[in-house]
């Protein structure tokens, strides 16, 4: 996961470093949001051990994460 985070950070920096200054914080936030939307389209690899991670999160944050066990997916 560290490589994924570093890769995401590198791609966001690539977008933001070419700008000299931003007119306000919202302009920066909007640019990072749009970059994230573009980067997210490239994510297609399945996460390793995701089932185990979701189970551990469900235990740690009981009542805050609803699991749909029939389809093996989380509800948002």
Confidence band for 71, pLDDT divided at 50, 70 and 90:
low
Mean pLDDT of the chain: 82
Kindly tell me if the per-residue pLDDT of 13 is higher than 60: yes
Q: Where are the domains of the chain?
A: 2-46
Confidence band for 26, pLDDT divided at 50, 70 and 90:
very high
**∠ Cα 27 32 36 (to 5°):** 150
Kindly tell me if the per-residue pLDDT of 1 is higher than 70: no
């Amino acid at each position: 996961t560290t490589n994924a985070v570093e890769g995401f950070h590198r791609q966001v920096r690539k977008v933001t470093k070419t700008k000299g200054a931003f007119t306000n914080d919202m302009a920066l936030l909007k640019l990072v949001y749009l970059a994230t939307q573009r980067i997210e389209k490239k994510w297609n690899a399945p996460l390793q051990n995701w089932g185990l991670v979701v189970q551990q999160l469900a235990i740690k944050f009981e009542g805050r994460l609803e699991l749909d066990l029939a389809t093996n997916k989380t509800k948002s």
